[in-house]
Amino acid sequence: MSEGNGTEKILLPVPQDHSPSMRRRTFVQALALAAASAATPEAGRAARNGSGLRYLRPPGALPEEDFLQLCIHCGQCGEVCPNRTIKYFSTENGYASIDTPYIIPREKGCILCMKCGDVCPTGAIQFIEYEVEAILDEVDMGTAWVDEQLCLSFQGKTCGVCYRACPLQDVAIKVGRLEQPHVTDECVGCGLCERSCIQMPQAIRIIPNRG
């Protein structure tokens, strides 16, 4: 939709807010995990390196080290998220991640409303305008990857569900014969394609980029 100045607005509609309860930092869990990491070197490495869980940070999040330094675990990003996409770590990703926000794209994708950056009080999640150009330039949660051995369209059965779920159709993802999906360098990693994939396991998934 044109605004008359040559800039297109993002096409995906933003649903109404349904704010979840604010999460608070779990000090007891943090202390317990810190004690475990001090007990053995193996536990310490596991705590620092996390669980290996494939997750995304919210759009506009700083590189991981800077993000963890600035995030104050206030929960405002999750409260403002209209799609209830943002969750918070307990101890499963190491004590440094406790009560920090994350997204599991297979469960829920990011609708790119940019509201989390509007409310972040520290800049751990940067403000990004709700416009296509700004989102393409500044959002880099990850990149979608297609497993052609699992994708129905590459097996001769027209699907195209991931393409239709993408808020940046023909920019981040394009389709070929039988609606075979082709991801471009413009993919920002919102995860809506992965969430929509009807295959089990999913034929398209987001590879996180957390710096």
3 belongs to a structural domain: no
96 belongs to a structural domain: yes
* Same-domain pairing of 99 and 61: yes
Q: Do the strands 142-146 and 204-208 form a parallel or antiparallel pair, or are they unpaired? A: antiparallel
Average pLDDT, the chain: 83
pLDDT of residue 65 exceeding 60, the answer is yes
Q: What is the pLDDT of residue 211?
A: 65
164 belongs to a structural domain: yes
* Same-domain pairing of 107 and 144: no
* Same-domain pairing of 36 and 105: yes
Range of the domain at 101: 27-119
* Same-domain pairing of 112 and 187: no
64 belongs to a structural domain: yes
* Same-domain pairing of 115 and 151: no
* Same-domain pairing of 79 and 145: no
Determine the average pLDDT of the residues in 191-201: 97
Compute the distance between CA of residue 152 and CA of residue 130 in angstroms, rounded to an integer.
33
Q: Which of 171, 149, 76, 63 is nearest to 119 (CA)?
A: 76
> pLDDT (tens digit, 9 = 90+) per residue, 140-193?
999 999 999 999 999 999 999 999 999 999 999 999 999 999 999 999 999 999
Q: Are 211 and 200 in contact (CB under 8 A)?
A: no
Determine the average pLDDT of the residues in 47-67: 83
Residue written as tokens 């979840």?
20
Most confident of the following: 16-25, 36-45, 198-207: 198-207
CATH number, domain of 169, equals 3.30.70.20
1 belongs to a structural domain: no
As for how many domains the chain has, the answer is: 2
> pLDDT (tens digit, 9 = 90+) per residue, 122-139?
999 999 999 999 999 999
Compute the distance between CA of residue 43 and CA of residue 150 in angstroms, rounded to an integer.
36
* Same-domain pairing of 48 and 83: yes
Determine the average pLDDT of the residues in 37-59: 59
Residue 51: CB atoms within 10 A of its CB come to 14
* Same-domain pairing of 146 and 105: no
* Same-domain pairing of 167 and 199: yes
125 belongs to a structural domain: no
